Amino acid sequence: MATFVLVPGFWLGGWAWRSVAETLRAAGHTVYPVTLTGLGERVHLAGPQVNLDTHIADVVNLLRYEELRDVVLVGHSYAGTVITGVADQLPERIARLVYVDTWPLPDGVAQIDLNPPEARHAQEQQVATTGEGWRLPLPSWEELDQGNELRELGEAERRMMRERAVDQPFGTTTQPLRLKNPAREALSRTAIWCSLTVDEVQGMIAAYPALLSALAEPGWEFIELPTGHWPMFSRPRELGELLGSLA
C-alpha cells in the first residue's frame, strides 16, 4: 500500500479531495489531503504575505513532520507548480509525482505567466479594485467555461465549489517558481489529462516549447481521464482508482 499526499489547486482546500481520499483509503492506502495556507479551513491565515514559497513550505513541512517517505505526491492544476517546488527540495521523500490536468512549470516562470496579456491585466485589475491588492476570487462560471473545463460538473458540484471556494492569495500566482535541484528530474512522473487529450497536449508542447519543456523530457507517463478540469468532483471514484493503480 502507498502513501498519497493530495494537493488542491486554486480556491480549494483539502476538502476537495474527500471522495478521492475515501476511494484510496478503502483500497488500503494512507492519504493526506492538504489544505494550503489561506485556503479552506485555513482561510483565517490568508493575507498579502502568502505566496508560492508559503505553499511549497506547507507540503515540505507535512512530509518532514509526519516523516513521510515513498510518497505519491499529487497536484491538481496550480498545485502542479507546488509539487514541483516540493520535489526540488525533497526528492528523496517522493516515489512518484502525479500532475492532474497540469504540468511542471520551468524555473523562473510564474503561474500568471501562462495567461495572455489581456487576461493577466484583467486579473491584476480585479485584484487591485476588489481584492484589496492581494485576493483573487473564483471567477464566474462563464469565465471558467472554456473548452472542457466544466464538463460533467452538475449543479450539486458547482454549488459545493461556489460555497466552499475562497479567494486565492494573489502572491501565489505572481511569484516565479525557483528550481535548483536536478535530482527531481529522476523521479517517476505521470500526467493525468482530463480537459485535454494526449494529442492536444503534444500539440501544445510543439507550439509552446519553452513553457512545456518539462513534458518533452523522457520518462513521462501520460494518461487520459476524459472529463472536465475538476475530476475530483466530476469523476472522484475513477480518479481515486486511477491514482491507486499508480502506487
Catalytic-residue membership of 140: no
pLDDT greater than 80 at residue 37: yes
Whole-angstrom CA distances from 193 to 18, 79, 133, 231 are: 20, 15, 33, 10
> pLDDT for 179-199, tens place per residue?
999 999 999 999 999 999 999
> pLDDT for 43-79, tens place per residue?
999 999 999 999 999 999 999 999 999 999 999 999 9
Burial label, 170 (beta-carbon count in 10 A; 0-12, 13-18, 19+) = buried
Distance, in Å, from the CA atom of 235 to the CA atom of 148, rounded to the nearest integer, reads: 14
> pLDDT for 204-222, tens place per residue?
999 999 999 999 999 999 9
pLDDT greater than 90 at residue 147: no
Binning pLDDT at 50, 70 and 90, where does residue 143 land? Answer: confident
Percent of the chain scoring above 90 in pLDDT = 94
**What does the DSSP assignment read for 23-62?**
HHHHTT-EEEE---TTSGGGGGG-STT--HHHHHHHHHHH
Q: Among 77, 140, 195, 213, which one carries the catalytic annotation?
A: 77
> pLDDT for 108-125, tens place per residue?
999 999 999 999 999 999
CATH number at residue 155: 3.40.50.1820
Indicate the number of domains in the chain: 1
**Which residue stretches of 103-177 are H helix?**
117-130, 141-144, 155-164, 171-174
Which phi and psi angles does 157 have, rounded to 5°? -70, -40
> Which domain covers residue 132, as residue numbers?
3-246
Distance, in Å, from the CA atom of 213 to the CA atom of 105, rounded to the nearest integer, reads: 8
